[in-house]
Structure 1
Amino acid sequence: MTESTSLSLGRRNHYSSFYGAPVPEGLALVLGNCQAESLRIVIDGPDLPTVRIPPVHELEASDLPHLDRLLSRASLVITQPIRDDYRDLPVGTRQVRERIASTARLVIVPAVRHRSLYPAQVVVRHPDRPIEDPPIAPYHDLRTIAEALGNARPRLRPDMVAAIAEESTAALRLREDRSGAVRISDVFDRPRFDLLRTLNHPGNPVWETLARRVRAEVGLADTVTDPGRALLASVIAPREEVVIETWGLDDAPDPHWYLGGRAEPADEVRDAHLRWYADNPDLLRLAADRHAAALEQVMSA
């Protein structure tokens, strides 16, 4: 058996209902990025059975008949805002709305990103190498970018952390309003570490709150499913003293990344990223340009 065949079989087993196994009546689908699966897990229940499906960035043209089969049977489709013809596939929110049954409901939920607990953290994707990440930890740090550009490493202040959080909340609320999404931004009015593991990996309380609000939107019971584990916890960012001070948290600082449970000192990640930027100046420039305003804000410290 070739490696590609093994991976194909593994994918089909993981998403067995998507690829043809019987599906329940009253089906609910959750479409989106890696966050969609976390919401699906907690919103699932006897009154709202769900099916695990691949995230939209993994869908291929050959998957469309399987997606259409489920869309035709779904009574509820929950989707993040997705642009038309995403990755050259007709899976945009507007396109999905046109393809579901006339009796089905469609509810939009936001893609959650918030920097209140990780104010220097950003994501950068090269247009030609979208799956490429910096070494060790797959997030960029604005302070390390500043260093790579030849500046002294900036130091964050509590007033700066608070300002970044306020801007992040405003940006999330704007995205919610533009797409007509169920609101979740207010959850971050009082930041704490169980809400976010990285800037775009929310913790269980976020998913439980969002699931309850989606259920309320469609008139279902205020119940959620306890997954019995921490969701989206494969990557956990360091907990910095300035963040703890800003929000008056009781947590102790922790200068480690946790990647699949393995601890990596933040200083070692920083050094590895600096070497990587030296070897990839195009990505350094892309990061600096794409996050120019945020970088300027951090460098004003």
Structure 2
Amino acid sequence: MTGRQQHYAHFHGLLPLVRDDRPLVLVHGNCQAESTRVLLEGTGQVRTVRVPPVHELTAEDLPRLQRVLDEVDVLVSQPVRDGYRDLPLGTAELLARAPRRPRLVVVPVLRWAALHPFQVIVRSPGAGEPPVVPYHDLRTLTLAAGRPELPEVPSARAVRAVRDLSARELHARGERHGALPVVDLFEAAGDGATQTVNHPGNPVLRGLAGRVLAALGLPAEVPDPGRTLLDSIHTPVLPQTLDALGIPGAGRPDWRVHGVATSDADVRAAHLRWYAEHPGVAEAGLDRHAEAAEELAA
């Protein structure tokens, strides 16, 4: 038995699905989806089944996924396009293959840059991810691309502009896909809103899980899971950023990567070496995130 089979024992059919009168919920998407599932399961109001994140599903997994779909009462899904990675893993495709006509609740892909205004995600096919942490810093990207440097500490205006950009993007994606609203959850969570731009903190995740339950007509109280979800990487937070957002706190100067403190200078040095080995990545990242870079330069 492989580690993957043990981790996803119900999905692989090694353990039977729990059967009772509670609705069976499948949560489909990235790592945020699994955290949402954990919180929903913890309420005791629904049954869930742990499945691999969508980017790890393979053609061999399709029969296993279908066995789950055959019994699902509720599909909670991030917006996944049809034919994702050349497989029928889109939200609409899963819904069409579920014979019980499950209720659909769409949750957004959660990204929030307010606490980390320089941090961005850059997909680089063929290059993979940079070392140490799989995130990019617009200040480092400008250095690697030979463009005018961004200030090390953002102005209060720039911090709020990047926050507003995140809010607009979340609102737009929510309206486009009919997803549950989340911007107010990030705004209310203060310095607990995020660990990284795409790893929300527990207050946001619990709030989202509560809204899923409310959409199903169930009590929306979600207990604390007793641990920090999405805990693998924590990004530095500048005290000036918190001040600009009106959030009390001292920030944090270093990264924490799998529990180990890592300086921002060490991450930058490793990334600059990596960009030198992968020409074009820095330029592509700046082009992709030109609006945020422009705000931070002003």
Q: One fold, TM greater than 0.5?
A: yes
Alpha-carbon displacement from aligned partner over 1:196-225 (angstroms, at most 9, x marks no partner)? 001100011111111111111111122324
Most deviating of 109-118 and 225-234: 225-234
What amino acid sits opposite 1:23 in the alignment? L
For residues 169-188 of structure 1, the C-alpha deviation after alignment (integer angstroms, 9 at most, x for no partner) is: 01101101110011112222
Structure 2 partner of 1:258: 256
Aligned counterpart in structure 1 of residue 26 of structure 2, from 5, 8, 29 = 29
Cα offset for 1:254?
A: 2.0
Cα distance in structure 1, aligned partners of 2:277 and 2:268: 14
Structure 1 residue ranges without an equivalent (≥5): 1-7
Contact 2:8 2:50 in 1 (8 A): yes
The alpha-carbon deviation at position 191 of structure 1 amounts to 5.5
TM-score, normalising length: structure 1: 0.92
Deviation track 1:140-181 (CA, whole Å, cap 9, x = no partner) reads: 000111122223342410111001101110110110111001
Residue aligned with 1:29, SS = strand
Query: By how many angstroms is 1:118 displaced?
Result: 0.6
Q: What SS does the corresponding residue of 2:27 show, helix, strand or coil?
A: strand
Aligned to 2:181: 183
Report the AA paired with residue 17 of structure 2. V
Gaps of at least 5 residues in structure 2 are: none
Per the alignment, residue 278 of structure 1 pairs with 276
Deviation of residue 284 (structure 1)?
A: 1.7
Shift of 1:101: 2.7
Say if 1:241 and 1:253, in contact at 8 Å, map to a contact too.
yes
Counterpart contact for 1:146–1:299, Cα < 8 Å: no
2: CA distance, partners of 1:147 / 1:48: 50
Please provide the CA RMSD for this pair.
Answer: 1.5
Q: Are 1:143 and 2:175 counterparts?
A: no
Superposition pairs of residues 96-135 of structure 1, within 5 angstroms: 96-129=94-127, 132-135=128-131
Alignment of 1:25-64 (within 5 A): 25=19, 26-44=23-41, 45-64=43-62
In 1: Cα distance, 2:286 partner to 2:165 partner: 19
Alignment partner of 1:9 is 2:10: no
TM-score (norm 2): 0.93
**CA deviation digits over 1:268-287, x for unaligned, max 9?**
11122122212221212221
- Greater mean alpha carbon deviation, residues 170-179 or residues 95-104: 95-104
1:54 deviation in Å?
A: 0.2
Q: Tell me the distance in 2 between the aligned counterparts of 1:102 and 1:52.
A: 19
Aligned to 1:87: 85
Which stretch of the first structure deviates more once superposed, 24-33 or 78-87? Answer: 24-33
